[in-house]
Amino acid sequence: MSTTTERSASSLSPGLLAGVALVELVLLRIGTRTLIHIPGLGRFENPFRTLAEAGRFAYYLAVVLLVYTLALLAYRERHGPVRSLVRAGGTVVFLGTAGAGRLGMVTVQVVGWVSLIVLIAVTAASWRGMRLLPIGLFVLGWVAAAGSVLGQGVTGNLTVGQVDGLMLAAEICLMAAAATLPLLLRVRPSVRAILVGLGTALVVSGGFRAGSSTLSILVLWNLGVPGWLPGIAYAGALGFLVTTLWSAVASGQKCVASGLVLLLAGGLGTISTYQTGLVLAGVLLLGGSVPDIATSTGSILRDQGVHLERRADALEPADA
Read off the pLDDT band of 149 (50, 70, 90). confident
Read off the pLDDT band of 296 (50, 70, 90). very low
Q: What is the mean pLDDT of residues 231-256?
A: 91
Instruction: Measure CA of the first residue to CA of the last residue in the chain; give whole Å.
Output: 53
The answer to whether the CB of 48 falls within 8 A of the CB of 41 is: yes
The answer to whether the CB of 184 falls within 8 A of the CB of 247 is: no
Lowest-pLDDT choice from 134-138, 211-215, 233-237, 252-256:
211-215
Please state the pTM of the whole predicted model.
0.83
The answer to whether the CB of 148 falls within 8 A of the CB of 163 is: yes
**Which pLDDT tens digit goes with each residue over 87-145?**
999 999 999 999 999 998 999 989 999 999 999 999 999 998 888 999 999 999 999 99
The answer to whether the CB of 149 falls within 8 A of the CB of 270 is: yes
Q: What is the distance between the alpha carbons of residues 289 and 184, in angstroms, rounded to a whole number? A: 9
Q: What is the distance between the alpha carbons of residues 193 and 3, in angstroms, rounded to a whole number? A: 35
